[in-house]
Structure 1
Amino acid sequence: MHIRFATANLLNYLAPPNAFYDFNNIYEAGQWQQKQAWLNRKLAALNADVIGFQEVFTPEALQQQVTELGYPYFAVVDQPKISDGYIYSSPVVAIASRFELIEVKQIDVTVEGFSFQRQPLRATLIHPALGLVDVYVVHFKSQRSMLESEEDARLVDAWQTELYGRWQSAMQRGQEAHLLHQAMVQRKRQYGHPMVLMGDFNQVLSSMEFNALRATHRFRQPDTFAPLLPYHLHDSWELFSHSHAGARKPTHYSGASGQVLDYILLSSDFTQDADHPVATVVDYHVEDHHLVNPHSEADRFASDHALVAVTLQCAKTIAGNSELPL
């Protein structure tokens, strides 16, 4: 039995007559239909069982669309900000699933003065072979500067403001990743469910901000690997590429330069290092035709990110993982 996870940044998914970020960013009826049609085609091609979405301004419209595509379970944990009654900002993440979501929660942190730029969600699904699985959907802080320079600022001053603002963005993104990781480890210690973390990371995984997500031992103490193994996260591409050759495809382009910004990370339950692996990675797919070979009409309102999917083959025998969360 297989299960397929996917992550999709939808780029300004907002039903008209509302506007995203600015009063004149409004899809015409035909444009909105084109955007929805594009998403229908992509989701049909991916054929994923569980999908994490980013850049969602209209959750109600997305829920209706994915329900018609065979995803009866849908959830968000936050709402976008609205000004002047129709201008939307701060999009939210969402999850759609063919399998029942028995619990959906936001990630709560207690650090004074901190809040996520975009609230992550945790959904616990129940799968006939895997049992209970905790799925996290994220959209980490972008690389855009958190500071705006004055319009009449001198070039050097504007440059310095931008540099400092981008560093603040990196610190915000790093704090988001570390506090999310703490929440994931805490829940894993309490319930032991396999974990999937997916979304738009807005930076490459090897960046310093994501040290916690890649850590496997204490500083200068590599012998701590085994005791920490249940809490490790693994890049699904690396798990797949161990047995398959080929270069990794970027998921976002700036001009001709591409980077991998969209990831699906898996807990050690899905690796051969686990005492009782629950599943193994058998396919990794990047849906990027709209980026590398776009068709003007069909992809006119596509996302600026590729969609990423990973397929897991479930083990025949699943040990434990049968108790519902309290």
Structure 2
Amino acid sequence: MQQELRFATFNVCNLALPGMKYYEDQIPYSAEEYDAKISWIAQQLDRLDADVIGLQEIFSQAALKDVLAKTQKYRDAHHIGFDPDPQADHLTPSVALISRLPVAEGVTTFKELPNDLAVTLPGVAHPVSHFTRPILHAKIEVSPDLLIHVFVCHLKSKLPDYRNDNNDDQPDQTGIAMLRSLIRRGTDALGLRTLLSNLNKEKRAPIIVMGDFNDVANAIPTQMVMGLGKYPINGVDDRLFESYRIQSRRDALRDVGYTHIHDGSYETIDHILVSEEFNPASRAAIGEVVEVMYLNDHMTFKQAHASDHGLVLARILLHGKSGSGMTPSNPDGASV
């Protein structure tokens, strides 16, 4: 059985086919711009050299196939994803998953919030009953005896959710719009946490959740996904742990990780969360997160074809004799 597993999350920033109108205020890619973008993404995937990669902001799975065709390490990888609903009022980017490990049957996408969950937004008549962007769930076969449940997510952004209904009784429309976005992100988080809890009720299994949370690890929505306030029940810990914080080889002197820059603020809003099976402090651990790396050098140069997010790579070492003595293999230019 493979002893080191590498999981990564990557918001590629608006991957769409040339000529495709993906946002009303964005000019579609030309053929040259498209080629530059998919070539850059392909280089980043090869640089990651991860076994399983979750991706966000995919407007076209056909474009992602073009990316994979340009890679050296993922041409034969499993590709799981879905295009945005063309009948929707506006296109919303979806997520995808690439795996060099086998993927078990039963890949699921969750569009509707589970357990009949519905939340009302200020100034909106109809309750929200669906995720902002569908959640992808796949089971990765590490060995005949080890399945890892992987969830790929992209929670609601902090962009204000403006509506056309101006209300003189509520003059601070920007504040109301920001509150809507916060509630939507919290709703996404609550829905995802419910999916995780439902899974654990059926059968305890190792879980990895990765994606763009649009919030830092300490934020309430992220903490909701992780299981804020939950504690081990009957010896079972239902919480998730932020991989960066529990890595066994963390070097405080090189603590410069970030995945996004907004108004001059450097933030980490892309996360890889793991269940207790990969927490070195847990008695139930079958492995441990040994190292988390952030590939973010490209954000300094702000090239048009590059993403505005950094990439996150987590190395997990499964317990076993063959895993002893393994050393890190940093991608070039990675920041830890």
Instruction: Give the TM-score taking structure 1 as reference length.
Output: 0.84
Matched residue, 1:313 = 317
Q: Deviations over 1:194-247 (max 9, x none)?
A: 0000000111121122332343645xxxxx446464311000000116743232
Q: 1:64 to 1:31 in 2, by over 3 A?
A: closer
Matched residue, 2:8 = 6
**Is the contact made by 1:202 and 1:262 (CA closer than 8 Å) also made in structure 2?**
yes
1:1-326 → structure 2 map (5 Å cutoff): 1-22=3-24, 25-66=27-68, 69=71, 70=74, 71-76=76-81, 78-82=82-86, 89-102=91-104, 103-107=106-110, 108=112, 109=114, 110-112=116-118, 113=127, 114-128=129-143, 131-148=146-163, 157=171, 160-215=172-227, 217=229, 224-225=231-232, 227=234, 229-240=236-247, 243-245=250-252, 246-292=254-300, 294=301, 299-316=303-320
2 CA distance for matches of 1:305 and 1:202? 11
Matching residue's letter, 1:213 = V
Matching residue's letter, 2:316 = L
User: How far 1:308 moved relative to its partner?
Assistant: 0.7
Give the 3-state SS of the residue equivalent to 1:301 in structure 2: coil
Give the 3-state SS of the residue equivalent to 1:118 in structure 2: strand
**Is the contact made by 1:216 and 1:229 (CA closer than 8 Å) also made in structure 2?**
no
2 CA distance for matches of 1:307 and 1:130? 30
Give the 3-state SS of the residue equivalent to 2:130 in structure 1: coil
Q: 1:216 to 1:275 in 2, by over 3 A?
A: farther
Structure 2, unmatched stretches of 5+, are 119-126, 322-336
User: How far 1:253 moved relative to its partner?
Assistant: 0.5
Matching residue's letter, 2:151 = Y
Larger deviation, residues 268-277 vs 54-63? 268-277
Highest relative contact order (Cα 8 Å, sep 6+), 1 or 2? 1
Matching residue's letter, 1:144 = L
Matched residue, 2:330 = none
Q: 1:97 to 1:201 in 2, by over 3 A?
A: same
Q: 1:168 to 1:199 in 2, by over 3 A?
A: same
Q: 1:278 to 1:11 in 2, by over 3 A?
A: same
Aligned residue pairs: how many? 301
Q: Deviations over 1:22-59 (max 9, x none)?
A: 27621111110100111111111111110101000011
Aligned-pair identity in percent equals: 25
Give the 3-state SS of the residue equivalent to 2:291 in structure 1: strand
User: How far 1:61 moved relative to its partner?
Assistant: 2.1
Q: Deviations over 1:164-209 (max 9, x none)?
A: 1111111111111112111112112312210000000111121122
Matched residue, 2:328 = none
Q: 1:51 to 1:26 in 2, by over 3 A?
A: same
**Is the contact made by 1:216 and 1:225 (CA closer than 8 Å) also made in structure 2?**
no
Matching residue's letter, 1:308 = V
Matching residue's letter, 2:319 = A
Matching residue's letter, 1:55 = E
2 CA distance for matches of 1:215 and 1:242? 25
User: How far 1:149 moved relative to its partner?
Assistant: 6.0
Structure 1, unmatched stretches of 5+, are 219-223, 318-326
**Is the contact made by 1:178 and 1:210 (CA closer than 8 Å) also made in structure 2?**
no
Q: 1:52 to 1:241 in 2, by over 3 A?
A: same
Q: Deviations over 1:244-290 (max 9, x none)?
A: 32324221002422111100000000013433422111221111111
Q: 1:139 to 1:24 in 2, by over 3 A?
A: closer
